[in-house]
Amino acid sequence: MMTTRNKTYFSLKTVQICLNIVRSLATDKLFYCFLKYDISPDNEICLIIQQTTKPNKEI
């Protein structure tokens, strides 16, 4: 794991684990998950997960 410019870079295996977690969260209707990717100088993938609650339209 490497951190540069306020970004944390993980190995591909770690990213795959994170994706599995995100998939499990995505099955929950209470959350929206947004993924953003970036490539580090060492060709590692930066995975940014932004999780927000779903707006409640019911009154």
Scanning the structure block, which residue is given the tokens 């794991």? 1
**Has residue 59 got a pLDDT over 50?**
no
pLDDT in tens, 2-58: 555 556 666 667 777 777 776 676 555 555 545 556 666 666 655 555 555 555 555
Cα gap 30→5, rounded to integer Å: 31
Sketch the domain layout of the chain as residue ranges.
Answer: 2-53
| Sequence-ordered list of residues with C-beta below 8 angstroms from that of 9, at least 6 positions apart, any chain | 1, 2, 3, 38, 40, 42, 44, 45, 46
Global confidence as pTM:
0.30
